[in-house]
A and B are shown apart, each in its own frame.
Chain A
Amino acid sequence: MGFLTDRKRAVGRGASHTGTEHHWFMQVTSVGLAILIPTFIFYFGSALGSTHDEVLATFSRPFPAILTALVLVVGLQHFNKGAQMMIEDYLQGSARKAAIIFTICLSYTLMGTGLFALAKIAL
């Protein structure tokens, strides 16, 4: 590190110091979600408010179960990074760190809970 020139340190990394990683991640997950979401809305919307037996029947089938799992994993990581971007725009210092940590914890808690529920219903 000490041997790098300032220019070498900065090239290709931008203000975030992580280059285009964040942007690329958002692009990849958004394309993934673009494919997943319309079908997911159909299954989830149909199941919402139906009887307990109907919900169990829907999410025991492989396609709706796998689809919902993918939406949870990809969607919540997309949320995680997107919310981080918003937090970084409006908060500074310790409040920023606390908010980002909270967002990451919330995302993974929801992901874990949702996957547990799906596994329990489907298996």
Chain B
Amino acid sequence: MADVNRGNRPLSPHLQIYRPQLTSITSILTRVTGNALIVAVILGVWWLLAAATSPEYYAIVNGIVTSWFGDLIFTLSAWAIWYHYLAGLRHLYFDAGKGLDIKTAENLGWIIVIASVLLALFTVIVV
């Protein structure tokens, strides 16, 4: 085997070195929203389990889900899921090798930020 340098390679500079840009912020938000959605999934599955168990248990969990805490979680998650949704579509577009010049990438960034807020408002109000 060749003498391979394992675990002692130079690291590239991390986040705090760079000036925040729209493209980096939208990328970070994709990760944050995607992982934060697990909170809504935990609440949602618990709520579904309660509905499957008994009317009494359902009343308790449904009370939590519709309390200010539940409203906060699900309202934020409505935005998070739409943001992650649009950002994912943007990633698929990038993966196809399109929209990678700076102007298009930044325009797409603004589009997903604005559209996700509008879709979240639509979801919270209509659904």
Contact = CB atoms under 8 A, between A and B. Distances in A.
Interface of A: 6, 27, 30-31, 33-34, 37, 41-42, 44-46, 48-49, 52, 55-56, 59, 68, 72, 75-76, 79, 82-83, 86, 106, 110, 113-114, 116-118, 120-121
Contacts of B127: 41-42, 45-46
Nearest to B62: A49
Contact of B52 (A34, A82, A121): A121
A52 B55 contact: yes
A36 to B, nearest CB: 11
A117 B48 contact: yes
A82 B49 contact: no
Task: List 8 A-B pairs, minimum CB-CB distance, nearest first.
Answer: A45-B127, A117-B52, A120-B52, A117-B48, A117-B49, A114-B45, A49-B66, A55-B51
Contacts of A42: 127
B35 A86 contact: yes
Interface of B: 1-2, 4, 31, 34-35, 37-38, 41-42, 44-45, 47-49, 51-52, 55, 58-59, 62, 65-66, 74, 78, 81, 85, 88-89, 91-92, 95, 123, 127
Contacts of A83: 35, 38
B89 A34 contact: yes
A118 B62 contact: no
Nearest to B95: A27
Nearest to A2: B1
Contacts of B89: 34
B41 A117 contact: no
Given A6-B4, A116-B49, A106 B38 contact: yes
Contacts of B31: 82, 86
B2 A59 contact: no
Nearest to A92: B7
A117 B4 contact: no
Contacts of A55: 51, 58
A56 B52 CA distance: 8
Nearest to A5: B2
A55 B41 CA distance: 17
6 contacts: A34-B89, A37-B85, A48-B66, A52-B62, A110-B42, A114-B44
